Structures are given as structure tokens and as C-alpha cells.
Amino acid sequence: MAGGRAGGVRPTERQDTEGLLPEGLGRAIRGTAEDIAALLRSVPDTAVPVPGSAWTVGEAAAHLALANELMADLAAGRERPYGDGTPQSLAAANEDSLAAFGERRAEPLATMIDEQAGAFLDAMTRTAADAPAPTTPLGPMNRGVLASYLLTHMLGHGYDLARAVGRPHMVDGRRVSLCMPFMLSVMPRVTNTTATAGLTARYTVRLRGGEAFGVALADGAVQVTPGPPQGRSDCTILIEPTAFLLVALGRLNPWRAIARGQILAWGAKPWLAPRFPNLFTAP
């Protein structure tokens, strides 16, 4: 995301955001930032490549630090144009921001990731409840969805960093459940129009041990609803929460998740299940 600076003051990062955000979301943002910072501080060489990416650990961490700063600015009501929401424009904005920001050392980046997550939460406590919804790289979002977006983004790149250095990742079912407001809000915006063209189908997606949501497709239009869609679903997908997020973010091949027993499907048209991840482009 966009340019920034390391360091800074974080005097109010522990202010209570509960009541302003969905329960547990503020704590999850703090905890995830701290987990990523601790992981980075244990890395002796940030030139290690990230699997499946053109970035090194240092570049991925720099992107994450800049993205957290961008999110903190948005939460504070500052305008920060950043692409037009398409994958191509976001990739170009990412590369431009990295080219303008040369820091690749673990310690300064760990500090910036942690501090800017705290700055985001501090801004949430200071912004009026009736303030206009900030315009993000993926469209306007209320404060709860914006915070869910920040958590989702950190978990995706935190997972990449953990894989790159062979450490346990920080994605778990509790944190995934807090990503769902963002995931559900953004799915219609990131629809793969080629994959959905001509498809009429109703999906129910259930996170194992958690919530369910519905996706109805007709003539290229996509409707996402909390709970099952109206009418009988053609395909019900039961998926382990961590697998859901990693598949949705393009970090896990859905066939591998199926082989591991992390995805089950049934209904009148269970063969629609493998098509589901291709209906959307990872945000």
C-alpha cells in the first residue's frame, strides 16, 4: 500500500476499543501485530524469498508496515488514494510505495507494524461515530469493516512471513471469524466476472464451528448474505475456518484443502464446490 516512515509515538495504543468495534477485534489486531513483530525480530536475514511471491521477507514486511500506516491514516479521516480497487492498480501502487520506501531491516519494520496497528486503534477511539466512512482501496467502509480489513491484511501477509522463515503462522479460527465482516462486504466487489458469467447457483458456506453465509449468483450478479441464501442451496460447503481464509486470500490451493479433509460439500449440485474459490479474485 502507500509510503511511510518507521518509528513514531504510540502513547494510547492500549486504549479500549471494545464497544467501538466488534467484540475482540481490537485485541486481535493488537495481538496479530505483536505476533508479526515478534516473528520479524527473530529473522536474521530479511533477504529470504517469500514462497509463491516475488517479494523477499524484507519487502513483504515493508509493504505490511506501509499498509498499517495507510489504514491508520484512513481511520483518522485522512484521504489516501491508493489504486482504483482492481488487482492491477493495487499491485502497481504496492510496487510504487515499496520503491519510495527503502527500509528492509527487521527491527524498524517490526516496530512500525506494531506502532501503526496501535495508531489505527487509537484513531478509532478518537474518530466521531458519525464521521464519514473512509474510502479504502476497496471502496468506502464503516469502522468495523475497516478494522476487519486491517486484520485480514495482516493475517495474509503474516502467514506469508511465517512460511518464509519456517515458523508457526498466526491464523486461527477466532481471528478468522473477525475477518468475516470484511470478507462478506468485499466479495461482490472482487467477483471474477469471467467465472460467474452465465452461472446461476445458490451456495451456503459454513465455517466449521462458526458462522454461515450465503452466496447467490444469477446472470453475473452476486448477492452475499449473512446466513443461507433464500431458497434451497444448490451446494453447501463446510470448511475449516483457517482453510477458508487462506483459500480466499490465494494462499492455499482448494484441492489441497479438500485432500486434507478441510472442505466438505453436499447438496443437489455438490460439484459446484470446487468452482467456488474461482468465482472471486483474492483481495
* Residue 9, C-beta contacts closer than 8 angstroms, at least 6 positions apart: none
Q: Which grid cell sits at 242?
A: 483457517
What is the CATH architecture of 193-279?
A: 2-Layer Sandwich (3.30)
Neighbouring C-beta atoms of residue 213, cutoff 10 Å:
19
Taking a C-beta distance cutoff of 8 angstroms, is the pair 226, 211 a contact? yes
Query: 113-130: per-residue pLDDT in tens?
Result: 999 999 999 999 887 666
**Could you tell me the pLDDT band of residue 18, with boundaries at 50, 70 and 90?**
low
Least Cα distance to 17 among 151, 150, 124, 176 occurs for 124
pTM for the predicted model, two decimal places: 0.91
Neighbouring C-beta atoms of residue 58, cutoff 10 Å:
21
Least Cα distance to 158 among 31, 71, 3 occurs for 31
Name the more confident of 214 and 17.
214
Residue ranges per structural domain of the chain: 25-186, 193-279
Query: 121-180: per-residue pLDDT in tens?
Result: 999 988 766 677 888 989 899 999 999 999 999 999 999 999 999 999 999 999 999 999
Q: Which fold has domain 25-186?
A: Four Helix Bundle (Hemerythrin (Met), subunit A) (1.20.120)
